Amino acid sequence: MNRKIMSGVGLAAVASLALTGCGGQDEPAAVDGPVTLTLAGWDFASTPEFQTLADAYHEANPDVTVELKEYPAGDDYDTALTADLAAGAAPDVFIVKNLKNYVTFTEGGTLLDISDVAAELDPATGGLAPMEVDGATYAVPYRQDSWLLYYNKELFEKAGVDLPDGSWTWDDYAEAAAELTEGIGEKQVTGTYLHSWQSTVQGFALAQSGAPLDGGDFSFLAPYYERALAMQDEGSQPSYATVTTNELAYQAQFGTQKAAMLPMGSWYIGTLVAEQESGAADTFEWGIAPIPQADESTTGTDATPVTFGDPTTMGINSGIDESKIETAKDFLAFAAGPEGAAALAGIGITPALIDDAVADTVFGLDGVPQDDLSRFAYTTHETLPENPVGPTTAAIQTILGEAHSAIMSESTPVDEALAEAEERVVNEVG
Amino acid sequence: MATPVAQEQRTLGLTEPGRPPLRAPRTSLKLRNALIGWTFILPNFLGFAVLTLTPVITLFYISLTSWNIFGAAQWVGLDNFARLIGDKSFHTALGNTFYYAVVHIPVTIVVSLGLALLLNQKLRGAAFFRTVAFFPYITSIVAVAVVWNMLFSPEYGPINQFLSLLVEGDLPGWTVSKDWAMPAVIIVGTWKDMGYYMLLFLAGLQTVPGELHEAARIDGANTWQRFWNVTLPCLRPTMFFVTVMVTIQSFKVFDLILVMTDGGPGQATLVLSQYIYQKGFEQFEFGYASAVAVVLFLICILVTVVQFLYNKRKEA
Amino acid sequence: MTARPSALQRSGRVLLYVVMMAAAAGIMLPFAWMVISSLKQNNQVFTAPVEWIPDPVVWRNYLDIWVRADMVTWVRNTLVLSVAVTALQVLTGSFAAYGFAKMRFPGRDALFLLYIGTIAVPWQSYMIPQFQMISSWGLNNTLWAIMLLQAFGAFGVFLMKQYYESIPDSLSEAARIDGLSEYGIWWRIIMPLSVPALASLTIITFVSTWNDYLGPLIYLRDRSLWTIQLGLQSFIGEYNAEHALIMTGSVLSVLPIALIFLLGQRYFVEGIATTGVKG
């Protein structure tokens, strides 16, 4: 289950693996004559990845056209797609966006068994292994974001605080945040910014403690919550109350230099570059560091830092026309393989398969920081899922989400809220 | 004055029989009436029966199954309802829904009736003020939630800044406090709904005959007596309608909670409608979600029937 | 009371206006915030504390929403839906209400209870069965679906029935003796007397269709079918949101309704009392 993404995985090795993968197939990849596949994605205006994959595949297979079906972004994607699946109106291929729904989708028989596609993918593909349910795989990851620490070099220098060097634990991070807040000494500018999502605390705790989500014991969350509460009480970050009631956006907080640090997913690299270019964000020098660790055993550039991030996966609608199945599988193998990865990296998106070529592409983009630590942080990490695949994940996450707002709003003390959550899991999830 | 008052004592409720026809009722007349009655109802009923009634009946069936939206539904009898009895989150949602409804219903009725009475007068600028009162209802709910959340912000919000001038000590945390989140949501709910129900009351007020007021005035009734003895009785059909609608809408409250607090902090503002959505669309337990919907339906119907009986007794 | 207003009364009036103006300002505050935010740069919309004066003032949003986004299509679709739904709802609702309010036949009350009963069922609990049904007719991803969905609700029937019952039966009795058919009574007597209720039903149906989000979200996929609310929501991407443009669109979407409401004022307060019906 150890899904390390190492920069050491060579491009040649990956390519040869993929080649044997494709070449070893007996059946023809596509049926005769032109085929049109439909693909469900969301918000095409600001999410170009679907069009990119469709175009790249069409270029490699001129006979096949991938037609995009647009769904709304956010949680509405699931609502709308669920309706279409229930009514048998969903496209041939769709994105399984929230990992916590994956088991329900498979149990409901909405996804085709694509174990053969999964078997031919590079095992280093981020998030691939856990997609296996009872010996079969129903969706493959094509994109895998991981959480990193963004920092504003200029604010660090102004406050006279040492830049992150990859050796930080969470305590070092908290200390730096306090020093920064004081050192910068400006009203409304804080050392760091923690967004209101439950994952900003729980994702790290789950990944770094190694505790199971469905073990019935949530005490592993306590130290992470106590630290977060202490930091907001100290004023090192805006309080949860302020973040939610004022609907603060992390892009604005970090982009307009109201926070010197920001733990955030790797998708923000592309956003920040674009916003600095358009003027929506200030122009300043920034960098990426590995996310702070629970203890020193995983810190330093010779270790592999542990972080979290859910893969975005793609599956085939079980209601697909039989004649299109092979084409659809080929498209999935393409999207999750090195060619898809190269295409995605070209538009600044982190593919599930990170190799040197991908890193070269991403760090070759204008505006992306060039220091070694940034590259290390981007390429080297053990990324564990925020939503481990399991039948009870969705229900447990709802309960933990409610615990999150109770704790962070300081309505309920940490231990009490976690005990209550444990009780509810017994009562409601069973 | 006697005649118009007697005239107001007309059919008001659900089962109140219509005025008997002048001629003696005959079977053929009854049949004719039934036929004509149905022709009136049919165009709407066709659409209603197919598009609303059928799915609603399906829902009742689903509540007796375990259905995860995909695939076939499995019959489980009353299992879902039995599970509700021990489900603490359901109890919390039920309690919160009652909290919201019990406060929101009377406050909204009083405020919107007051607004309607005020803006039914020949006031300069009444048209402008009526439009203003209706504004919260037409403004996008997302914008409403955003602005009110900012106003309620415990640290930077204008409401607490104002309150800090008046009182010493701890100020309410509003939407991020377990105890104050529900009052905050109720305030916004009332603010948003008042223009809507004002409009319905305003329409009802137009049926109050002016000469009745005139007669009462001549008899020496003061404003309060005229309101109590003339306006309110004339307004009874509208009052019944508004009460039923406010009640049902309050028990079904959904969007507002979703955008303002999302049920939080913790489960402080989790309501039944939201619980249905959570169970159905987040956890794919559609059979169970349907059972919650059936309970919500039964509560609404029960309260409506009580209101109906009360309305009838008042009328008699 | 008919004498010239005393000084006390006059100052009471002034006070009333002051209070009403203050209340009006308070009520309009969220709208004011929408307008202010629509004149800001995106990253300045949400701040702590709130900034009430945009700096710099960005007029571009009002151009961008037409040029960069497909606002014309959204407005057109929303208008088509709102007008069609309102027309159907008002027409069939007011027609059916007559049957419920003024006709007597067996099963009438049970049927009416059924109507009210469906109001008490939250839509999100039966929208999937409904969606499956409408999709099986091939109408998902068409504007027809939304029209069918909204046009035959129980609300209009309930509202109109309650209002009809406020209209004295003596009027229709007299017309009946004069030989008018029930349809004639509905059209010539009852409808003209129900202008305030019809106006309320019209504006309420129009607004709820205009602002509906969940219905279009479930049914409409193609960009060419999007409504204003769907379109505005599309400014909220996976990781980014164009709040300034959302507020611009919200302001633009509220204005026509406010205008209709303001212009339709006299219909809300025109009724039996003012049309000179004598008992």
Is B43 within 8 Å of C133 when comparing Cβ atoms? no
Is A411 within 8 Å of B268 when comparing Cβ atoms? yes
Is C127 within 8 Å of A83 when comparing Cβ atoms? yes
Same structural domain, A199 and A54: no
Residue A3 is predicted with a pLDDT of 33
Within a domain: A374 = no
Is A246 within 8 Å of C243 when comparing Cβ atoms? no
Instruction: Kindly write down the DSSP assignment for every residue of C131-168, as one continuous string.
Output: HHHHHHTT-TTSHHHHHHHHHT-HHHHHHHHHHHTTS-
Nearest CA distance, C252 vs chain A (angstrom): 22
Same structural domain, A181 and A270: yes
Paired tokens of B86 = 């021990």
Nearest CA distance, B131 vs chain A (angstrom): 28
Within a domain: A378 = no
Is B150 within 8 Å of A109 when comparing Cβ atoms? no
Tell me which architecture the domain covering B88-315 has in CATH.
Answer: Orthogonal Bundle (1.10)
pLDDT in tens, A91-149: 999 999 888 889 888 888 899 999 999 999 988 888 888 898 888 999 999 999 999 99
Paired tokens of A366 = 């204008």
Restricting to B residues 229-248, those with a Cβ less than 8 Å away from any Cβ of C are 234, 237-238, 240-241, 244-245, 248
* CA B205/CA C53 separation, integer angstroms: 42
A255 contacts on C by Cβ (under 8 Å):
43
Highest mean pLDDT among A350-359, C137-146, C236-245: C137-146
Is A83 within 8 Å of C218 when comparing Cβ atoms? yes
Query: Hey, what CATH topology would domain C65-268 get?
Result: MetI-like fold (1.10.3720)
Same structural domain, A349 and A408: no
Residue A18 backbone dihedrals phi, psi, to 5 degrees? -65, -35
Q: Judge whether B194 and B115 are in contact, CB under 8 Å.
A: yes
Residue C6 is predicted with a pLDDT of 76
Scan for tokens 């990119």, then name that residue. A52
Is A86 within 8 Å of C240 when comparing Cβ atoms? no
Instruction: Tell whether A403 is within 8 A of chain B (Cβ).
Output: yes
pLDDT in tens, A17-30: 333 333 333 444 44
Restricting to B residues 42-81, those with a Cβ less than 8 Å away from any Cβ of C are 42-48, 51-56, 58-59, 62, 69
A80 contacts on C by Cβ (under 8 Å):
217-218, 221
Within a domain: A59 = yes
Nearest CA distance, B115 vs chain A (angstrom): 30
A394 contacts on B by Cβ (under 8 Å):
282-284
Residue B19 is predicted with a pLDDT of 47
Residues C159-186: what's their mean pLDDT?
88
* CA C13/CA A142 separation, integer angstroms: 69
Nearest CA distance, C90 vs chain A (angstrom): 30
Which percentage of chain A shows pLDDT scores above 90?
62
Residue A286 is predicted with a pLDDT of 96
Same structural domain, A157 and A278: yes
Chains in touch with C (3+ beta-carbon pairs under 8 Å) read A, B
Within a domain: A164 = yes
Within a domain: A381 = no
Instruction: Tell whether B309 is within 8 A of chain C (Cβ).
Output: no
Residue of C nearest to A86 (CA): C132
> Has residue A357 got a pLDDT over 90?
no
Size of chain A, expressed as the number of residues it contains: 430
Which percentage of chain A shows pLDDT scores above 70?
92
Helix (H), strand (E), coil (C) string for B68-130: ECEEEEEECCCHHHHHHHHCHHHHHHHHHHHHHHHHHHHHHHHHHHHHHHHHCCCCCCHHHHH
Residue C5 is predicted with a pLDDT of 63
Is C124 within 8 Å of B273 when comparing Cβ atoms? yes
Is A428 within 8 Å of B281 when comparing Cβ atoms? no
Within a domain: A282 = yes
Residues A357-378: what's their mean pLDDT?
90
Is C103 within 8 Å of B37 when comparing Cβ atoms? yes
Taking the domains of chain B in order of start, what are their residue ranges? 88-315
Say which CATH number the domain at A204 has.
3.40.190.10
Is B142 within 8 Å of C126 when comparing Cβ atoms? no
Classify strands A35-42 and A93-96 as parallel, antiparallel or unpaired: parallel
Residue A18 is predicted with a pLDDT of 34
B203 membership: H or E segment, kind and range: helix B181-205
C253 contacts on B by Cβ (under 8 Å):
140
DSSP state of B148: H
Q: Judge whether A192 and A161 are in contact, CB under 8 Å.
A: no
Residue B308 is predicted with a pLDDT of 81
Same structural domain, A125 and A273: no
pLDDT per residue, tens digit, chain B (316 aa), is: 333 333 333 333 333 344 444 455 567 878 888 888 899 999 999 999 999 999 999 999 999 998 888 878 889 989 999 999 989 999 999 999 999 999 999 999 999 999 999 998 878 888 889 899 998 998 888 778 888 888 888 888 888 888 888 888 788 889 999 999 999 999 999 999 999 999 999 988 888 887 888 888 888 888 888 888 888 888 888 999 999 999 999 999 998 998 899 888 999 999 999 999 999 988 889 999 999 999 999 999 999 888 888 877 876 6
Residue B7 is predicted with a pLDDT of 36
Paired with A316 in beta bridges are: A93
> Has residue A416 got a pLDDT over 70?
yes
Residue of C nearest to B191 (CA): C27
Paired tokens of A416 = 């009490």
C271 contacts on B by Cβ (under 8 Å):
203, 206-207
Residue of A nearest to C136 (CA): A87
Instruction: Tell whether C11 is within 8 A of chain A (Cβ).
Output: no
Residue A58 backbone dihedrals phi, psi, to 5 degrees? -65, -35
Same structural domain, A83 and A160: no
> Has residue C278 got a pLDDT over 70?
no
Of the listed ranges A3-7, A205-209, A406-410, B250-254, the one predicted with least confidence: A3-7
Is B277 within 8 Å of C24 when comparing Cβ atoms? no
Within a domain: A377 = no
Chosen for mutation from B176, B258, B278 (greatest number of chain A CBs closer than 10 Å) is B176
Residue B315 is predicted with a pLDDT of 66
Q: Omega before C56 cis (within 30°)?
A: yes
Nearest CA distance, C117 vs chain B (angstrom): 7
Paired tokens of A18 = 């993929």
What is the interface pTM, i.e. ipTM, of the complex? 0.86
Angle at B150 between CA B163 and CA A258, to 5 degrees: 115
Nearest CA distance, A352 vs chain C (angstrom): 18
Same structural domain, A225 and A172: yes
DSSP state of C241: B
Query: Nearest CA to A300 among A167, A109, A156?
Result: A167
Same structural domain, A244 and A278: yes
Same structural domain, A289 and A315: no
Residue C56 is predicted with a pLDDT of 83
Chosen for mutation from C166, C182, C204 (greatest number of chain B CBs closer than 10 Å) is C166
How is chain A split among helix, strand and coil, in percent rounded to 5?
A: 45, 15, 35
B284 contacts on A by Cβ (under 8 Å):
82, 101, 104, 108, 394
Residue of A nearest to C222 (CA): A70
> Has residue A8 got a pLDDT over 60?
no
Cα distances from A56 to residues A10, A48, A64, A307, in angstroms, run: 23, 12, 11, 31
Residues C67-85: what's their mean pLDDT?
92
> Has residue A302 got a pLDDT over 50?
yes
- A169 or B229: which leads in pLDDT: A169
> Has residue C123 got a pLDDT over 80?
yes
Nearest CA distance, A53 vs chain C (angstrom): 18
Residue C210 is predicted with a pLDDT of 92
Residue B62 is predicted with a pLDDT of 93
Q: Number of Cβ pairs closer than 8 Å across A and C?
A: 88
* CA A298/CA A288 separation, integer angstroms: 17
Is B136 within 8 Å of C30 when comparing Cβ atoms? yes
- The sheet with strand A93-96 has its strands ordered as A64-71, A35-42, A93-96, A311-316, A139-144
Residue A28 is predicted with a pLDDT of 44
> Which residues have CB under 8 Å from B221's CB, separation 6+?
B229, B230
Is B284 within 8 Å of A108 when comparing Cβ atoms? yes
Residue A430 is predicted with a pLDDT of 67
Coil, strand or helix: which one is A57?
Answer: helix
Same structural domain, A203 and A101: no
Angle at A69 between CA A308 and CA B280, to 5 degrees: 60
DSSP state of A164: P
Residue of A nearest to C50 (CA): A246
Coil, strand or helix: which one is C189?
Answer: helix
For residue C196, the one-letter residue type is P
Q: Judge whether B153 and A241 are in contact, CB under 8 Å.
A: yes
A381 membership: H or E segment, kind and range: strand A381-384
Residue A133 backbone dihedrals phi, psi, to 5 degrees? -120, 120
C230 contacts on A by Cβ (under 8 Å):
72
Scan for tokens 């102004």, then name that residue. A158
> Which residues have CB under 8 Å from C29's CB, separation 6+?
B147, B151
Paired tokens of A388 = 């481990």
Same structural domain, A263 and A408: yes
Instruction: Tell whether C233 is within 8 A of chain A (Cβ).
Output: yes
| Number of domains chain A contains | 2
Chosen for mutation from A317, A409, A410, A429 (greatest number of chain B CBs closer than 10 Å) is A409
pLDDT in tens, A30-75: 456 789 999 999 888 778 889 999 999 999 999 999 999 989 888 8
Q: Judge whether B273 and B253 are in contact, CB under 8 Å.
A: yes
Is C241 within 8 Å of A69 when comparing Cβ atoms? no
A39 membership: H or E segment, kind and range: strand A35-42
pTM for this structure?
Answer: 0.87
Chains in touch with B (3+ beta-carbon pairs under 8 Å) read A, C
Residue of B nearest to C244 (CA): B143
Of the listed ranges A6-15, B90-99, C46-55, C202-211, the one predicted with least confidence: A6-15
Taking the domains of chain C in order of start, what are their residue ranges? 7-62, 65-268
Instruction: Tell whether B284 is within 8 A of chain C (Cβ).
Output: no
Instruction: Tell whether A69 is within 8 A of chain C (Cβ).
Output: yes
* Structural domain that includes position A240: 147-304+387-429
C17 contacts on B by Cβ (under 8 Å):
125
Same structural domain, A300 and A422: yes
Burial of B85 (0-12, 13-18, 19+ CB in 10 A): exposed
